[in-house]
């Protein structure tokens, strides 16, 4: 017990700080010593006596120690204090240092490079007025200038890292504020009800804006939230009834635009969405009736459900091609929406996306759209012209129901499904042109309620001819659409612009590498394929009589090859790997060309048959063909991964990976592999594991040191039936 009492007494003694007094400049100052510095101290009453009047200079030294801190409540309710000179030695102010000093005027108050304005330092010092210069401050703490209604502007230096909660709350005369990018966060209610705040600049670099930060700033007319902001609180700009122009990044839309701008949606007329935004969330701008226009940047890939629903004054919208889906009811009941541009690339239009857009007169649906959702354009009374591009597959139930101005529509050959009542009650629809496969296979409800004399005509969709250059350098390189039932000449080789040095064009074959000519150049054809189908034609090349050909094989499992012709008897350079053939292999060095696969895969050989860009001179007879295989060597410090397609095709790829470096596995799409009726799951470490569905790594996963230097790891594709 004695030992415990001694320990407690020692602890209490260690925490005790003696207060001292000293008279300077006609005032007695209370202070305490903290190590090598002095702190002006309120020991229960004001730290200065008698009660100060006018402008007071705080001493720089007390007790022989530099004054570095103004303590808690040091000048509380010093009503006669009109100004104060704070020496440069002061680096911090504690809680409520100048609390309720009603006569304090900023013009006669100097605030040096204070590192920290602690909580309530000047709160409710309503007479503190003018332009506040905080040069040198490192932070502005909670309530620092809370209720200082006389401050008209504030200069916040780049040394400040945070603006605390309620820091400028109720600074009703504050007209402008510039917040530098050095500020990491703007605190809760930091500028709450700064009713004269008409301009605020938020620097790029600010990362968070807390809840209600600018709530009630009724004079604020515009605001730009920089893309550096990653977090923004609810109601951050609530009741900012003067707001008209707003620029917002992704984080605003992640929280929900309505949540950030409570009670001001009816005032905002212009919104700029930053180029970093990728998704516009559900109901983001729902009911923003003052909004007349908005530019959706190309970065946006998703427009959420109800995103612009009931924006009554929105007149036009342009949807970029990167948008995967326009959400359900995204623009429903936008009464003034007269112009809609859907760029090629938009993939789907959701249910009721443009329902009851009464001013919309024209829309073109690009072929990239696969689905026009249920009721997508229902009730668009003014919609007189609809172009549905080839590529659209499904027109949903009620999609164009009650489009009373619509008079004629053509359904493209790509459409395979038309939902019930899709064009019902279109009061002025008199003509529809449709692919023949709908004849006798169309639900009567599709045109229910349309005029009795509606004329429906059917057509045989054209077929497509795809031309393949078939020399290893290209896949599908040209297409020709041909009207079914009409004799038409095939596109000529000259029009395609194809020619091969040392090779003569023979004709078109049905299969790759076919030697049997099916169609001649510029042949006349009729119904070469079924209506709506596609037929492939492959160029057949023969070595010219005065030339020879070298077939170059990439030899890495990619299956890539090239034919290059050479004039016989003429010394000619082979094409270079990088510039002529445009081949490279990650993690490998090209060693030259060999005449057999065995030699190409034998890196013990000294010199190759030919090096890169080497000269050749008639290595075979006229009209002959020579095959050359690329020889590769794995670079030092690398290992290799062998990708096996694992679908009985025998296809594989081997790629190099740098040792001790995280590297992303090639994705299945980058390898160019797909399997009809199957979904790719990932990679297995053995064929047995692949067949059992045991995952080693998912598609595009990162790996480090999956094998030792110079060694090979074989991985196998895992496929799952769809």
Q: Quick check: 181 pLDDT over 80?
A: yes
Specify whether the CB–CB gap between 325 and 304 falls below 8 A. no
Bridge-based pairing of strands 431-435 and 61-62 is unpaired
Specify whether the CB–CB gap between 259 and 238 falls below 8 A. no
Fold of domain 638-721? Immunoglobulin-like (2.60.40)
In terms of Cβ atoms closer than 10 Å to its own Cβ (0-12, 13-18, 19+), residue 447 is buried
Q: What are phi and psi of 251, to 5 degrees?
A: -60, -35
Q: Where are the beta strands (DSSP E) in 403-525?
A: 408-410, 417-418, 431-435, 455-459, 463-468, 476-482, 488-489, 503-509, 524-525
Please report the pLDDT score of residue 13 as a whole number. 30
Q: Is 446 helix (H, G, I), strand (E, B) or coil?
A: helix
Structure tokens at 685: 């470490």
Cα dihedral across residues 312, 314, 318, 323: positive or negative = negative
Nearest to 391 by CA among 360, 377, 406, 370: 370
Among the listed ranges 127-136, 469-478, 516-525, 565-574, which one has the minimum average pLDDT value?
Answer: 127-136
Q: Quick check: 8 pLDDT over 50?
A: no
pLDDT tens string 418-472: 999 999 999 999 999 999 999 988 899 999 999 999 999 999 999 999 999 988 7
Please report the pLDDT score of residue 202 as a whole number. 94
Interatomic CA distance for residues 32 and 190, integer angstroms: 33
Please report the pLDDT score of residue 10 as a whole number. 29
Among the listed ranges 198-212, 242-256, 284-298, 703-717, which one has the minimum average pLDDT value?
Answer: 242-256
Domain 547-634 has CATH 1.50.10: no
Among the listed ranges 132-146, 526-540, 596-610, which one has the minimum average pLDDT value?
Answer: 132-146
Hey, which of 28-32, 174-178, 281-285, 608-612 has the most confident mean pLDDT? 608-612
Q: In the chain, which residues fall in CATH 2.60.40.4270?
A: 463-543, 638-721
Give the distance, in angstroms, between the CA of residue 329 and the centroid of all CA atoms in the same chain. 23
Among the listed ranges 77-91, 277-291, 584-598, which one has the minimum average pLDDT value?
Answer: 77-91
Side-chain half-sphere CA neighbours of 361 within 13 A: 4
pLDDT tens string 115-149: 445 555 676 666 677 777 777 777 788 888 888 88
pLDDT tens string 656-691: 999 999 999 989 988 989 998 899 999 999 999 999
607/257: higher pLDDT = 607
Q: Quick check: 579 pLDDT over 70?
A: yes
Specify whether the CB–CB gap between 718 and 687 falls below 8 A. no
Nearest to 647 by CA among 691, 704, 601: 691
Bridge-based pairing of strands 625-634 and 547-553 is parallel
Q: Quick check: 161 pLDDT over 60?
A: yes
Fold of domain 278-459? 3.80.10
Q: Quick check: 587 pLDDT over 60?
A: yes
Q: Where are the beta strands (DSSP E) in 36-112?
A: 37-40, 48-49, 54-57, 61-62, 65-70, 81-85, 92-93
Share of the chain above pLDDT 70, in %: 93
Interatomic CA distance for residues 431 and 423, integer angstroms: 12
4 contact partners, CB below 8 Å, separation of at least 6 = none
pLDDT tier, 252 (very low <50, low <70, confident <90, very high otherwise): confident
pLDDT tens string 305-347: 999 999 999 999 999 999 999 999 999 999 999 999 999 999 9
pLDDT tens string 211-232: 999 999 999 999 999 989 988 9
458/109: higher pLDDT = 458
Buried b / exposed e along 299-333 (16+ C-beta atoms within 10 A): ebbbbbbbbbbbbeebeebebbebbebbbbbbbbb
Q: Quick check: 653 pLDDT over 50?
A: yes
Q: Which CA distances in Å does 697 have to 215, 690, 716?
A: 49, 11, 10
Q: Is 496 helix (H, G, I), strand (E, B) or coil?
A: helix
pTM (2 d.p.): 0.64
Please report the pLDDT score of residue 124 as a whole number. 62
167/11: higher pLDDT = 167
Bridge-based pairing of strands 463-468 and 431-435 is unpaired
Q: Quick check: 108 pLDDT over 60?
A: no
pLDDT tier, 631 (very low <50, low <70, confident <90, very high otherwise): very high
Interatomic CA distance for residues 638 and 657, integer angstroms: 5
Q: In the chain, which residues fall in CATH 3.80.10.10?
A: 278-459
401/162: higher pLDDT = 401
Fold of domain 463-543? Immunoglobulin-like (2.60.40)
Q: In the block, which residue shows the tokens 């008639």? A: 618
- Round the average pLDDT of the chain to a whole number and report it: 88
Specify whether the CB–CB gap between 590 and 610 falls below 8 A. no
Please report the pLDDT score of residue 54 as a whole number. 87
Interatomic CA distance for residues 431 and 27, integer angstroms: 98
439/262: higher pLDDT = 439
151/588: higher pLDDT = 588
Interatomic CA distance for residues 232 and 241, integer angstroms: 19
Bridge-based pairing of strands 48-49 and 61-62 is unpaired
Give the distance, in angstroms, between the CA of residue 543 and the centroid of all CA atoms in the same chain. 51
State mean pLDDT over 369-382: 97
């Amino acid at each position: 017990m004695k030992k415990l009492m001694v320990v407690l007494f020692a602890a209490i003694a260690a925490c005790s700080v003696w207060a001292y007094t000293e008279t300077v400049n006609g005032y007695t100052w209370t202070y305490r010593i903290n190590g090598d510095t002095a702190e002006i101290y309120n020991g229960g009453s004001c730290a200065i006596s008698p009660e100060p009047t006018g402008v007071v200079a705080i001493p720089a030294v007390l007790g022989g120690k530099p004054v570095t801190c103004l303590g808690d409540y040091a000048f509380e309710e010093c009503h006669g204090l009109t100004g104060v000179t704070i020496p440069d030695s002061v680096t911090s102010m504690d809680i409520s240092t100048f609390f309720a000093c009603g006569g304090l005027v900023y013009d006669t108050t100097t605030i040096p490079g204070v590192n920290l304005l602690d909580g309530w330092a000047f709160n409710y010092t309503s007479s503190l007025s003018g332009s506040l210069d905080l040069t040198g401050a490192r932070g502005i703490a909670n309530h620092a200038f809370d209720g200082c209604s006389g401050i008209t502007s504030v200069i916040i230096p780049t040394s400040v890292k945070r603006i605390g909660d309620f820091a400028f709350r109720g600074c009703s005369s504050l007209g402008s504020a510039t917040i530098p990018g050095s500020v990491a966060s703007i605190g809760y209610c930091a500028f709450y009800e700064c009713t004269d705040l008409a301009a605020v600049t938020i620097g790029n670099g600010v990362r968070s804006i807390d809840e209600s930060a600018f709530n009630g700033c009724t004079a604020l007319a515009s605001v730009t939230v920089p893309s550096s902001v990653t977090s923004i609180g609810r109601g951050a700009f609530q009741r900012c009834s003067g707001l008209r122009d707003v620029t917002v990044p992704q984080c605003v839309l992640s929280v929900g635009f309505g949540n950030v701008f409570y009670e001001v949606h009816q005032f905002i007329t212009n919104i700029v969405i930053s180029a970093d935004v990728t998704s516009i969330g559900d109901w983001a701008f729902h009911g923003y009736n003052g909004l007349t226009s908005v530019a959706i940047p190309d970065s946006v890939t998703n427009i959420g459900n109800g995103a612009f629903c009931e924006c009554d004054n929105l007149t036009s919208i342009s949807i970029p091609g990167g948008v995967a889906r326009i959400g359900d009811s995204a623009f429903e009941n936008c009464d003034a929406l007269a112009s809609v541009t859907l760029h090629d690339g938009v993939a789907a239009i959701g249910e009721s996306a443009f329902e009851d857009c009464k001013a919309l007169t024209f829309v073109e649906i690009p072929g990239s759209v696969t689905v026009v959702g249920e009721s997508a354009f229902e009730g668009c009374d003014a919609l007189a012209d609809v172009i549905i591009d080839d590529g659209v597959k499904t027109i949903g139930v009620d999609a164009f129901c009650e489009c009373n101005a619509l008079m004629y529509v053509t359904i493209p050959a790509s459409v395979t499904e038309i939902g019930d009542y899709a064009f019902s009650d279109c009061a002025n629809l008199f003509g529809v042109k449709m692919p023949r496969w709908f004849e006798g296979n169309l639900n009567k409800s599709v045109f229910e309620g349309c005029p009795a004399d509606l004329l429906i005509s059917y057509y045989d969709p054209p077929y497509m001819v795809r031309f393949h250059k078939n020399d290893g350098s290209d896949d599908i390189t040209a297409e020709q659409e041909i009207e079914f039932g009409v004799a038409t000449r095939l596109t000529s080789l000259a029009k395609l612009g194809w020619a091969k040095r040392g090779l003569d064009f023979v004709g078109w074959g049905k299969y790759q590498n076919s030697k049997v000519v099916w169609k001649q150049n510029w042949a006349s054809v009729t119904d070469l394929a079924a209506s709506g189908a596609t037929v492939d034609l492959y160029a057949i090349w023969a070595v010219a009589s005065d030339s020879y050909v070298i077939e170059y094989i990439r030899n890495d499992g990619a299956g890539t090859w090239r034919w290059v012709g050479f004039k016989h008897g003429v010394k000619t350079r082979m094409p270079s790997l990088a510039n002529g053939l445009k081949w490279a292999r990650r993690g490998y060095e090209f060693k030259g060309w060999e005449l057999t696969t065995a030699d190409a895969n034998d890196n013990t050989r000294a010199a190759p048959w030919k090096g890169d860009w080497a000269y050749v001179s008639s290595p075979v007879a006229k009209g002959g063909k020579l095959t050359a295989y690329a020889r590769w060597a794995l670079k030092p410090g690398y290992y290799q991964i062998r990708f096996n397609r694992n679908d009985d095709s025998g296809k594989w790829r081997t790629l190099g990976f740098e040792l001790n470096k995280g590297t992303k596995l090639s994705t299945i799409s980058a390898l160019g592999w797909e399997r009809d009726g199957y979904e790719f799951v990932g990679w297995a470490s053995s064929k047995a594991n692949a067949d059992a569905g045991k995952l080693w790594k998912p598609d595009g996963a990162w790996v480090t040191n999956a094998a030792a230097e110079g060694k090979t790891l074989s991985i196998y594709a895992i496929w799952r039936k769809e």
